[in-house]
Amino acid sequence: MDDPVLHQSYAAAAADLSVPWQAETPPDPALAWLNEDLARELGYDPAWLREPAGIALLTGQVDADGHPVPAGGAAPERPFTTAQVYAGHQFGSPNPQLGDGRAVLLGDLLDTTGRRRDLHLKGAGATPFARAGDGRAPLGPMLREAVVGESLHALGVPTTRALAVLTTGEQIAPRQGVTPEPGAILVRVAASHLRVGTVEYAAWHLDLDARRALVQYAAARHLPEGVETKSTALDLLEHVTRAQAELLAQWMLLGFVHGVMNTDNMTLSGEGIDYGPCAFLDEHRSGAVFSSIDRGGRYAYAAQPGIALWNLSRFAETLIQLIDEEDPNAAVEQATAVLEDFEPHYLDAYGRRLAAKLGIPAHGEGADAEHLAAIRASGAELFALLEEQHVDHTGFFRALTDADPAALFADPAPFTSWYEGVLALRGSGASAEAALAGMDRANPVYIPRNVHLEAALRAAHLGDLAPAYALLDAVRRPCERRAELAHLEGPGDGGEHFMTFCGT
């Protein structure tokens, strides 16, 4: 097959928001893991990616046209790869300049389905936005991104994904402790790397024409084809609001805690991105925090939908002049109306997806509002019960499918009473049978359990990648129970006290 053609369409459309920057040449790069399915989807031959030319591509060693540089070849005078600048609200406080401190955009391409996708290299060396960092990335956190991204993708959640993780052949300064860590590069694939923070940077630093060019590029990249636009900026706000409402509903029902929902970590595509201090719930806890830097619980599990709306409000503020240049009050009214739609979109998505997990017919998007409200009320009662009795979130939903969920409760009487209500909501007939059959696909057996993921990353640090491969195998087919992976089903010991650090 012909190799895909790489472009730098973002740099061409919004020149003020990225700079040409050459990825550093790693001393001895080697593939730790290659996502062969994703490679084929992008149009690459996995066997070619394992060859020297493929390794050169995956480490950013490309010429001025985006083609791999032969071993020993000189880098181009003007780099093909770029580093992006953005800003953001971090823990609620504005930071006027962030950016790709240790990453470059390898380029964008059209995949085999005609979708435009970004290839992005993390751990490719310091850039002008490094803020005194060394530009390196350790192997463990890069594998974490790969595992979490593959898990969410397999569960139907919009997410960035890893095409590859490569070791660089060097030991780098430790992020925690004193022991040097193996260096690594993550090759990330995304619908784009445009963030709320990207538009914030433009609003805070650039003129109206530059902001308009950015919004037009983002709309062309992410709005569905055939949309009749009233205002490009308003339509983009509406699209991002709906996409984030759908994403947050999925995160909440899977018990996923992102950990750092700053505006620079909210994409315009609606994909999840940057899986550093993230985790899945073991016991259901509304206040669960797994990030060492979230001391106030701003990004706790139950806070996530509200934070998403807060971020979207900051996004809307950047668009006011573009929505209506002549009448800012009218623009504020229109943007506010879009933001007010976040909650109903979220509640609709949440109700439909909760129905699927409980085996209750919901009849797709636009289902009867009263029916969905009853399902959500049942869910609220359930989650309070799970938290009160310290029941495992993922284990409970899977037990509804193939075990006795009552056995998970120290006092099963409240569960039994709750379950009678679920049976009433299910009803009977063909639609009820179809909903029950779909529970297998909605309730995973395998997620990246905190204890198991951390053990796999520790093993990788010591040179043993087998546990990471086993975990990747499990989460990529999350609903298919396999005897050889039984040790990855439950939470293990110590997951409730698990803490993650900003290593990505």
- What pTM was estimated for this model as a whole? 0.95
**Of the residues 193, 210, 229, which one is the last residue of a structural domain?**
193
Residue range 372-382: mean pLDDT, rounded? 97
504 in a domain, yes or no? no
Residue range 175-196: mean pLDDT, rounded? 91
Residue range 364-378: mean pLDDT, rounded? 85
Q: How confident is the model at residue 502 (pLDDT cuts 50, 70, 90)?
A: low
Domain that holds residue 464: 450-497
Instruction: Decide if 493 is catalytic.
Output: no
Task: Count the domains in the chain.
Answer: 3
| pLDDT above 70: residue 19 | yes
503 in a domain, yes or no? no
**Do 175 and 206 have their domain in common?**
no
Residue range 387-391: mean pLDDT, rounded? 97
Give exposure, 176-210, as e/b (b: 16+ Cβ within 10 Å).
eeeeebbbbbbbbbbbbbbbbbbbbbbbeebeeeb
**Do 99 and 215 have their domain in common?**
no
Q: What is the pLDDT of residue 144?
A: 97
Cα separation, 403 vs 380, in Å, equals: 22
97 in a domain, yes or no? yes
In order of 38, 177, 260, 503, the CA distances from 102 in angstroms are 24, 21, 18, 12
**Pick from 84, 88, 66, 63: which is nearest to 74 by CA?**
63
| pLDDT above 70: residue 499 | no
Q: What is the pLDDT of residue 500?
A: 65
Choice among 100, 118, 235, 264 that is catalytic: 264
List the structure tokens of 303: 């806070």
| pLDDT above 60: residue 25 | yes
Residue range 457-486: mean pLDDT, rounded? 96
| pLDDT above 70: residue 108 | yes
Q: How confident is the model at residue 504 (pLDDT cuts 50, 70, 90)?
A: very low
Query: For residues 491 and 174, is the Cβ–Cβ distance under 8 A?
Result: no
**Do 204 and 187 have their domain in common?**
no
* pLDDT tens by residue, 330-368: 999 999 999 999 999 999 999 999 999 999 998 666 568
**Do 279 and 410 have their domain in common?**
yes
| pLDDT above 70: residue 310 | yes
- Rg of the chain taking only CA atoms, in angstroms: 23
* pLDDT tens by residue, 403-442: 899 999 999 999 999 999 999 999 888 888 988 889 999 9
**Do 431 and 464 have their domain in common?**
no
Q: What is the pLDDT of residue 75?
A: 81
**Of the residues 193, 212, 227, which one is the last residue of a structural domain?**
193
Percent of the chain with pLDDT over 70: 95
Query: How does DSSP classify residue 291?
Result: B
**Of the residues 193, 226, 251, which one is the last residue of a structural domain?**
193
**Do 373 and 245 have their domain in common?**
yes
